[in-house]
Amino acid sequence: MRLSSVLSLVNQVEKSKFINAIDRICGDAVRHDKKIEAQLNKLDGQIKNASSTDITQLFKIILPYFEKAVREQLAMLGAQATLLTNILSRDGNSIARATWVESLYSKEWDVINRRAKELQAEIEEVSDDESFGNSKRLGIYFACFSEAHSNDQRINREAKITDDERGILNVLAKQLDVTADDQAGIEHLVDKIPKNGVQDALNELREIGLVFISRKRQTVYVPDEIVSLLHRIQGKELADKHLLRILRTFSDAELSNILKNHRKKIRGVERKEKVSNIMKLGVPVTQILQRDLFNDEVTINERKDRLKGLIQDLELDLDKLGATLEERTEIILNSLNNCAESEFNVLSATGFKELFSALQNHFPMLSKVLKHEFELEEQEELDVEKLRALSITPYDILYMLTNEEVKSVVDSMGIKKRGNLRLNILNSFADATDKLIDNYGALARRDLASLKNSNIDIAESEIGVKFEEVTKAIFEQLGLAVDEDLRRAVNTSKDKADVLISLSEDDVIVGEAKTCKNGDFAKYSTTSRQVKAYANRCESAGKRVAQVLIVAPTFSDDFVESAEMDTEVNISLLEAEGLKRILDAYKSRRNPKFSAKLFTKGGLLKSDLIAKNI
């Protein structure tokens, strides 16, 4: 979930520590940074009274200073904070109940403690005449880590690993090929990680602005921007889900090459276990793509060609491939690190829900797989909104399935088997959304007979929800910013807006989609109460409601007149068939020009005129 959405979700007290952290950093940096000075001047220096939008913009400007401060403070907090941030920055853990974070911590602690005991036995067995084997390498790293930790005590300071020392130890670990789990185990031997006190450690992370804790929901939130920051501090080039995506494309021989290069067992190891073992290594993705993937005799040109093939396998839409091995590696990493928004846009909100529902039917183990891979609570109810909040895209879901499982799903669903199977599945649901858009008018009128004649099988009880979802899909295809994160943040169990369209950081359009079976839509008093409640929720979250847009099959004369005379909120009305005509005109133009401001004129909108001027 983006920072702006988290800020809209939590109350003033719950975001106070984050604002205090920003305030401290601004106080130190403003003297020599003109951009920060200019932004503070806009706020009259009153950060604590700033809107969520202003805080988000300020955070973007001070991010380098914030990251530097966090590095220093995490080093001071010690091994427990490091372990906790490692857990919270993993896929699926950015929104979690505090009790679940404690259970994940306990589980991780047990794994590290067990590995630490194994490492201690291995290090102690090393003899003076032993060749440079695994025990010798681990012993060297252990000795260096112990020295880095204890050297402060000689000058009467608390023993700790500074950020600079950790950087040197990371280089040493890379040169000695000490894997991530072994690094954690050795650190536990030298500086034992406390098993208890997780709540206190969470509060310490909250103090330095890394997490938000909702007391009401007893939930910990880590914004996407903070997750990316923690990955940089950890030296993590890609999220685990993206590394998994890369590994899924490799052949068995290539997976074996990676494991062989780190002296790991490959004989008799199944493909699924090979992938899992590589994930545990913690090896930089750059090293995998440039070295570990290949035998020593493979030339640079052959390695470049293999990365070109990887780009095609991953279906990355790139403007350039890069001329060197390093450039191609960087392009792959950047593309995957910035792919979330485009991957969510591949399917409409309707398409995503349809995909998730169909996958659950054709692969009943899906929820169990996702909960295991993303470390979600067993009793948690999984739905598309929860997945979107965790930044889990349709691509991410499909790559959680093994290649064999994807083949089985394709067979079960009767989808074509040529080409990229995961992409074939996605495209089939994009087509289903297009079919509903083509019959948008019938959907608005709740015309079941027309829908069935078009081979659309839908229950009457589902029509309202489908109409809302297809309306979102149309807005998305018009290039509008349908803000699901904000909608989720402002909605309550009582007040649930259908659509929120972001015009800017501050301005939104509140959209409401209404079906009507017989005649014109005429329920103005009820509808106006609803949209005014939604507008109030948005304004409480620091947004300005530029317009309310109501979409229905047709409107009664009284409804139109009441909307035009309403002085409390600006309301625009748009007939469903008219919205479809606007979309058709948009798609027919080579370079369409369309702005959401065309929906802010008020009263009954003239769709023909809007379509003509696109």
> What pLDDT is stored for residue 131 in this prediction?
65
Task: Tell me the mean pLDDT in the region 310-314.
Answer: 92
> What pLDDT is stored for residue 581 in this prediction?
95
pLDDT category at 202 given cuts 50, 70, 90 is: very high
Is it the case that residue 126 has pLDDT exceeding 70?
Answer: no
> Pairing between strand 507-513 and 544-552?
parallel
Task: Tell me the mean pLDDT in the region 37-41.
Answer: 84
The counts of H helices and E strands in the chain are 32, 9
Q: Please give the residue that has the higher pLDDT: either 131 or 84.
A: 84
State how far the Cα of 210 lies from the Cα of 18, in Å rounded to an integer. Answer: 7
For 190, half-sphere exposure in the C-beta direction (CA atoms, 13 angstrom radius) is 25
pLDDT category at 51 given cuts 50, 70, 90 is: confident
> What pLDDT is stored for residue 130 in this prediction?
56
Phi, psi (deg, nearest 5) at residue 150? -95, -10
DSSP of 69-131, one letter per residue?
HHHHHHHHH-HHHHHHHHHHTSTT-SEEEHHHHHHHHHHHHHHHHHHHHHHHHHHHT--TT--
Q: Please give the residue that has the higher pLDDT: either 149 or 32.
A: 149
Is it the case that residue 535 has pLDDT exceeding 80?
Answer: yes
Torsion of CA 149, 154, 155, 157, to 10 degrees: 40
CB atoms within 10 A of CB 83: 21
First to last CA, the chain: 33
442: tokens are: 């019938």
Q: Please give the residue that has the higher pLDDT: either 53 or 60.
A: 60
> What pLDDT is stored for residue 34 in this prediction?
85
Helices (H), ranges, 264-364? 271-281, 285-287, 300-313, 325-337, 340-346, 349-362
> What pLDDT is stored for residue 27 in this prediction?
84
> What pLDDT is stored for residue 63 in this prediction?
94
Q: What is the mean pLDDT of the chain?
A: 90
Beta strands across the sheet bearing 544-552: 481-482, 499-502, 507-513, 544-552, 571-575, 603-604
State how far the Cα of 504 lies from the Cα of 408, in Å rounded to an integer. Answer: 44
Is it the case that residue 458 has pLDDT exceeding 90?
Answer: no
Q: What is the pLDDT of residues 96-124, one digit of tens each?
A: 999 999 999 999 999 999 999 999 998 88
Q: Which residues contact 548 (CB under 8 A, 6 or more apart)?
A: 509, 510, 511, 512, 531, 534, 535, 569, 570, 571, 572
Is it the case that residue 520 has pLDDT exceeding 60?
Answer: yes
* pTM, 2 dp: 0.79
Task: Tell me the mean pLDDT in the region 269-285.
Answer: 91
- Write down how long the chain is: 614
> What pLDDT is stored for residue 89 in this prediction?
95
For 267, half-sphere exposure in the C-beta direction (CA atoms, 13 angstrom radius) is 1
401: tokens are: 């399935």
pLDDT category at 300 given cuts 50, 70, 90 is: very high
Task: Tell me the mean pLDDT in the region 226-248.
Answer: 94
- Cβ burial of 1 (10 Å; 0-12, 13-18, 19+) is buried
Least confident of 221-225, 294-298, 574-578: 294-298
Q: What is the pLDDT of residues 315-368, one digit of tens each?
A: 888 888 899 999 999 999 999 999 998 898 888 777 888 899 999 999 999 999
- Packed helices 421-438 and 349-362: angle between N→C axes, nearest 10 degrees: 130
State how far the Cα of 141 lies from the Cα of 161, in Å rounded to an integer. Answer: 14
Distance of CA 412 to the CA centre of its chain: 29
State how far the Cα of 186 lies from the Cα of 482, in Å rounded to an integer. Answer: 48
Task: Of 486, 358, 469, give the one whose Cα is nearest residue 414.
Answer: 358
> What pLDDT is stored for residue 127 in this prediction?
59
3-state secondary structure of 573: strand
3-state secondary structure of 200: helix
Task: Tell me the mean pLDDT in the region 586-595.
Answer: 87
Triad 346, 395, 238: Cα angle to 5°: 120
Find residue 571's DSSP bridge partners.
548
Least confident of 25-29, 64-68, 141-145: 25-29
Distances (CA, A) of 423 to 55, 71, 277: 38, 40, 27
499: tokens are: 């659509």
pLDDT category at 129 given cuts 50, 70, 90 is: low
State how far the Cα of 523 lies from the Cα of 603, in Å rounded to an integer. Answer: 16
Helices (H), ranges, 191-299? 198-207, 224-234, 240-249, 252-260, 271-281, 285-287
> What pLDDT is stored for residue 490 in this prediction?
85
Is the distance from CB of 500 to CB of 490 less than 8 angstroms? Answer: yes
78: tokens are: 């010690």
- Packed helices 52-77 and 224-234: angle between N→C axes, nearest 10 degrees: 30
State the sign of the Cα–Cα–Cα–Cα dihedral 467, 470, 475, 481.
positive
Is it the case that residue 128 has pLDDT exceeding 80?
Answer: no
State how far the Cα of 297 lies from the Cα of 25, in Å rounded to an integer. Answer: 51
Task: Tell me the mean pLDDT in the region 234-249.
Answer: 93
State how far the Cα of 294 lies from the Cα of 289, in Å rounded to an integer. Answer: 8
